[in-house]
Structure 1
Amino acid sequence: MSLAQHFTLTQFLIEERRRHPDATGDFNSLILNIAVACKRISRTVACGALGDMHGSAGGALNVQGEQQQNLDVLSNDVFLQVNEWGGNLAGMASEELEEPYQIPEVYPRGRYLLTFDPLDGSSNIDVNVSVGSIFSILRAPEGTDVVCEEDFLQPGTSQVAAGYAIYGPSTMLVLTIGEGVHGFTLDPMLGEFVLTHPDLRVPEETREFAINASNSRFWEVPVKRYVDECLAGAAGPRGKDFNMRWIASMVAEAHRILMRGGVFMYPRDTKDPGKPGRLRLLYEANPIAFIIEQAGGRASTGRQALLSVEPTGLHQRIGVVFGSKQEVERIERYHTEPFAGELENPLFNERGLFRLPA
């Protein structure tokens, strides 16, 4: 598809439907409703402090035990209100809601399920750093009338579509329907998402990695080994210098990696042994993993492919590694192979304070 065509999202979806004559049109309608929700959120985010929406939501905590921002609540309401009436959904699940959201009885029910993080990276709102929305579409089990948690517990391989909107210098919607990844930029004059980045691919090689280094004391040995090798630069085993990034907004991290390569790590660690990871599987990790893998990258827990994980809970947390394929595969290999340098720490080396006995 040529950039010169500049298809709108609507035109793009019509073309895709023509390639699948058995399609009913419900799927296209759902994607367009999600796009409307993202436009509304984009407009509110763009107002900044002028919209009087900055700050916490009266001290309220979400189901994750995290401080809710006013824009978290507003964005969640927008997603629910825009998508509940269309007749495409059997139910929804959100980061901000403890239980699945039932479609009101006044609206028809459809055959899809929608999971979403309405405003990823909301802790960055007050400092004007890019934030975003993440979504995943699944098929509802046959005969579903009232949805329950188990209906959403499907592995990432079952996703029909996934995407995110990033609210930055420009607003972009990045979408996969299982046949590659495409980026659409919001044209504020038209009020339409326009195809500007067709067939996005994650570069296989990179010199960038993203991780929260303040957690280094809690990392498992494979992660520490990988980061130490990157930090050693051209003089180390990798033979090249790396840059380290950390934005604290997964949408922004994923978007950078999609555009120019890199690897993102929010791995399992020992900081809180009761939590097997920080990111939520169903509406953060799985949709981003689907996008990254459709763009030729790889997504993993470090021990297995992310998309193969069988969910056990609506708000299940998990360790996440994604990005350029060669780097993620290296990290996976470090999780499975023995490492002779496991105890190679400055405190334990030949001149260290706590040299181990021979």
Structure 2
Amino acid sequence: MTTHPDVLPHDLIPEALYPTLSTLCAVSIDVAGVIARGTLSGALAEQVGENTDGDNQKALDVMADEMFEAALRGGDVRWYGSEEQEDALLLSENGKYALAIDPLDGSSNIDVNVSIGTIFSIFDTKEGAEESFLRPAKEQIAGGYILYGPATCLVVTFGNGTQQYILDPVKGVFVLVEAAMQVPETSKEFAINASNYRHWTKPVRAYIDDCLEGMNGPRGKDFNMRWVGSLVAETHRILTRGGIFLYPGDSRPGYENGRLRMVYECAPIAFVIEQAGGMATNGEVPILDQQATTLHGRIPLVFGSTDKVQRVADHHTLTA
């Protein structure tokens, strides 16, 4: 692994994790450069295959995965668990960490120039890959995402608050802009794919119905719906403006547990959100109290401002 000591400030990064974080950030600068060139970098949105769960792989998915894997080899990461790989890879016999990653979240937005990103979770390693990743989400020692949008930014937590860094594209370094992000409580926004309404469970329908009734309903205010299709973009908006995101399980075959993966999507996002004063559940139970049974296992995800997420849980209790 090639370290990049000048890419990220040292101040708030645990010393032991710094080489791994700085490598992730250095690769992300290269990924951001490829994305910024759009089709000048090639057909990034071209389908090149399927991952083990049957989801389409885009050229940029595979490219980003290869870039992160190559850069992390020989460093502090023992086990590398990626959405794009069927099994976890052994990168370093002496590595101290297990890193789970979605190298490129939001693939469906690659060709329409909407924000996409990288999501990652870090655990202390155990001897084998399964025990390293298939454990309670609360055992993460770091979690976060890198957003490729109008600005490239790193949002990360080490269990003592949620930090935000912005890439200065001129100097090629990430700069700390917020040491303690907080999820606002006052937003009137919710994010869900409303086209699936007919498939939702009664508690999810009840919550959204309350929002849609607006001023005349039990919430007593009008709401706006948002849906980007990139988990990192949804997360960043909620961290910035508040609100709630729902990707519930529903009645369609294969959607019983939603479509988001626990280890490298839901767990790190939940960690980031809770460290920013928000809440993240599967609709009822906190994500951080749960664990995956397989590397690519899925789980419903509801996160955002605490009062809104709690109201969804209350609907599940009322209709139980």
Q: TM-score, normalised by structure 1?
A: 0.85
Flag the 1:30–1:137 CA change in 2: closer, same or farther, 3 A. Answer: same
Cα deviations across residues 34-72 of structure 1 (Å, max 9, x unaligned)? 1112111111111101111323243x1111201111000
Q: Which amino acid aligns with 2:109?
A: N
Cα deviations across residues 189-213 of structure 1 (Å, max 9, x unaligned)? 1100001122110012320000000
Question: Structure 2: 5+ residue runs without aligned partners?
Answer: 1-5
Structure 2 distance, partners of 1:139, 1:29, is 15
Q: Which amino acid aligns with 1:92?
A: Y
Q: How many residues align?
A: 315
Q: In the alignment, is residue 281 of structure 1 matched against residue 281 of structure 2?
A: no
Q: Counterpart in 2 of 1:21?
A: none
Structure 2 distance, partners of 1:245, 1:255, is 13
Q: Counterpart in 2 of 1:323?
A: 304
Q: Which amino acid aligns with 2:192?
A: I
Q: Give the SS at the match of 2:8.
A: helix
Q: Counterpart in 2 of 1:291?
A: 272
Q: Give the SS at the match of 1:10.
A: coil
Q: Counterpart in 2 of 1:123?
A: 108
Question: Structure 1: 5+ residue runs without aligned partners?
Answer: 1-7, 18-24, 340-358
Q: How does 1:192-231 map to 2 (within 5 A)?
A: 192-231=173-212
Structure 1 distance, partners of 2:174, 2:74, is 22
Q: In the alignment, is residue 79 of structure 1 matched against residue 68 of structure 2?
A: yes
Alpha-carbon shift at residue 164 of structure 1 (Å): 0.4
Cα deviations across residues 266-297 of structure 1 (Å, max 9, x unaligned)? 01111126642210000000000000000000
Give the % identical residues: 44
Q: How does 1:14-53 map to 2 (within 5 A)?
A: 14-17=11-14, 25-53=15-43
Q: Which amino acid aligns with 2:102?
A: D
Q: Which moves more between the two structures, 163-172 or 33-42?
A: 33-42
Q: What RMSD in Å do the two structures reach over aligned CA positions?
A: 1.6
Structure 1 distance, partners of 2:273, 2:201, is 24
Q: Which one has the largest radius of gyration? A: 1
Flag the 1:314–1:249 CA change in 2: closer, same or farther, 3 A. Answer: same
Q: In the alignment, is residue 234 of structure 1 matched against residue 232 of structure 2?
A: no
Structure 2 distance, partners of 1:333, 1:275, is 20
Q: Which amino acid aligns with 2:288?
A: L
Give 2:56's match in structure 1, choosing from 67, 73, 76.
67
Q: In the alignment, is residue 137 of structure 1 matched against residue 135 of structure 2?
A: no
Alpha-carbon shift at residue 15 of structure 1 (Å): 5.0
Structure 1 distance, partners of 2:254, 2:132, is 28
Q: Counterpart in 2 of 1:180?
A: 161
Q: Which moves more between the two structures, 269-278 or 196-205?
A: 269-278
For the 8 Å contact 1:56–1:67, the answer to whether it is kept is: no
